[in-house]
Amino acid sequence: MVKIVVVTSGKGGVGKTTTSASFATGLALRGHKTVVIDFDIGLRNLDLIMGCERRVVYDFVNVVQGDATLHQALIKDKNCDNLFILAASQTKDKDALNEEGVEKVIQELSKDFDYIVCDSPAGIERGAFLALYFADEAIVVTNPEVSSVRDSDRILGILSSKSKRALEGKDKIKAHLLITRYNPGRVESGEMLSIQDIEDILRIPLIGVIPESTDVLQASNTGTPAISLNGTSVSDAYQDVISRFLGEDKPLRFTNVEKKSLLKRIFGGRV
Amino acid sequence: MLSSVVKFNKAVFEYYVIHIGSKTKLEQIQNKLIGFKKLGQDNYPIVLNFDPDFDIESIKNLLTSLKEIATKVNVILHSIARNDNISTQEISGINVVDYANAIKSKHVYDKSLIFDEPVRSGIRLDNDGDIIINNFVSDNAEIVASGNIHVYGEARGRLIAGSTGDKNARIFVTKFNAELLAIGGIYKTMDKKPPETILGKPVMVFLDEKDRLNILPL
């Protein structure tokens, strides 16, 4: 049974695409056949982060409009046989997508894949709406600051009122809270909202906390999903998210301030 | 007070009832009918409800002028509600109908809206009547009720009770943190953080006799 998962947030720049790439890669590495679709038509980024930007021949819009077959447009990941990418178009805009076309693509993908990960654009317009419309589960990416939390709240309202599941009166979309760019030090000094504050406002189950890290930028620049940077806190945190998503029970990590060792204090933080 | 002499009741049926007492002036009725037109409610027929102290003759006299007004402002006088003094089937060509219990009813609100889901940011709930929310209300959500509002959970958004002017409407909240409160058009923004005595506590909001908005911890 296929599961359609939307990665969404409302606000831009919080880490939706980073999360989509890592989440899809994580699922694929554990043996699930996964496809990740970039819904951000006109501002395509996912292919960059997945490191396949030079292999895009046909994109999502070509398939929706019937100019190419799905088979032609799906790009196989270079490191993982179970992972496929459906890139967005950079030359069109979001109106190039329509409900019927997207539904057809998703139905066709449902035959072959275990998970369909939809990378939503920012905002609450057409692209974002279509990304969440067919979803079974949602990962709501939130930064520990008030505007991001409020936009996530808005998206949760849309998930529960305008999605296909809501309109057809089926079970509600299962929403998971993913807090990214979390910096325990800044939370402790009161500059950032704490996990508790965010949970109090959004009141959906927490699936993970990704620490703020310079490794994420490095990963994007080299076209590697952050989850593949073995040994980093970000990679470990994303692995935990996958485990929890697949039903395992994992304690939270990287949410407390690390005590700096004497050597680190003397020679600076970046060791 | 004017409203006690001439008033419209939207009863449970699709008519508007105009109550006419012995002290009612024609001018008042005309103003009411004009106001009624302005509300865009002119498709509804109007039922006349005379006080029992009117006798048939005075009703007949009044009806001649009422009919003139009705033609002038273009509303339909549908019928006259039967009372103990009226025994005929029609007066001056207007039917007398027995509305009995329906007429006695006070202003009838629509059914209360009961909402069990969270009211998220950007969602607006609107009801002609009470709204009861059995969950939390997020920042920037809007609850607009012509009656009372009850929130059994944390209330952060904008709570607007008595939206059609009912100053007796009240707001009840089990965990108070609203950003805006309004009753019958009197509003208060909670710009500053509310004091500890009410923040996150159960409260009742009501208008006092001087139209001041009161937040009372419960």
In tens, the pLDDT along B45-80 reads 788 888 877 778 888 888 888 888 888 777 778 788
* A28: its two tokens: 């694929």
* B109: its two tokens: 């609100």
**pLDDT for the residue B2:** 36
Q: Do B118 and A150 touch (CB under 8 A)?
A: no
Spatial separation of the C-alpha atoms in residues A47 and B164, rounded to whole Å: 54
**Residue A228 β-bridge partners:** none
A157 touching B, CB under 8 A? yes
User: B3: pLDDT confidence band, cut at 50, 70 and 90?
Assistant: very low
pLDDT at B106 over 80: no
Strands in A104-215 per DSSP E: 115-119, 137-142, 174-182, 206-211
Length of chain A: 271
* Residue B137, min C-alpha distance to chain A (Å): 9
**pLDDT for the residue B81:** 80
pLDDT at B11 over 70: no
- Residue A182 backbone dihedrals phi, psi, to 5 degrees: -85, 130
User: B43: pLDDT confidence band, cut at 50, 70 and 90?
Assistant: low
Q: Crossing angle of helices A215-222/A233-245, nearest 10°?
A: 80
- For residue A159, give the chain B residue with the closest CA: B120
Name the residue with higher pLDDT: B47 or A121. A121
A201 touching B, CB under 8 A? yes
Name the residue with higher pLDDT: B97 or A141. A141
In tens, the pLDDT along A3-50 reads 999 999 999 999 999 999 999 999 999 999 999 999 999 999 999 999
Strands in chain B per DSSP E: 8-10, 16-20, 46-50, 77-81, 90-91, 94-97, 113-115, 124-127, 131-133, 142-145, 149-155, 158-161, 171-176, 180-183, 186-189, 203-207, 213-217
pLDDT at B193 over 60: yes
Spatial separation of the C-alpha atoms in residues A262 and A241, rounded to whole Å: 32
Contacts A161 to B, Cβ<8 Å:
123
User: A70: pLDDT confidence band, cut at 50, 70 and 90?
Assistant: very high
User: A90: pLDDT confidence band, cut at 50, 70 and 90?
Assistant: confident
pTM comes to 0.73
Name the residue with higher pLDDT: A92 or A183. A183
Nearest in space to A76 (alpha carbons), one of A47, A101, A97, A105: A47
ipTM of the complex: 0.76
Q: Do A154 and B118 touch (CB under 8 A)?
A: no
Mean pLDDT of chain A: 92
pLDDT at B206 over 60: yes
Distances (CA, A) of A138 to A134, A146, A176, B63, B201: 10, 20, 6, 66, 33
Contacts B137 to A, Cβ<8 Å:
none
Point out the least confidently predicted range of A93-97, A102-106, A256-260: A256-260
User: A269: pLDDT confidence band, cut at 50, 70 and 90?
Assistant: low
**pLDDT for the residue A248:** 92
Mean pLDDT, to the nearest integer, of A55-73?
92
Secondary structure of residue B85 in the 3-state scheme: coil
pLDDT at A206 over 60: yes
pLDDT at A260 over 70: no
In tens, the pLDDT along B117-167 reads 999 998 999 998 999 999 999 999 999 999 999 999 999 999 999 998 889
**pLDDT for the residue B42:** 58
Mean pLDDT, to the nearest integer, of B89-109?
66
Q: Do A157 and B120 touch (CB under 8 A)?
A: yes
Mean pLDDT, to the nearest integer, of B102-124?
76
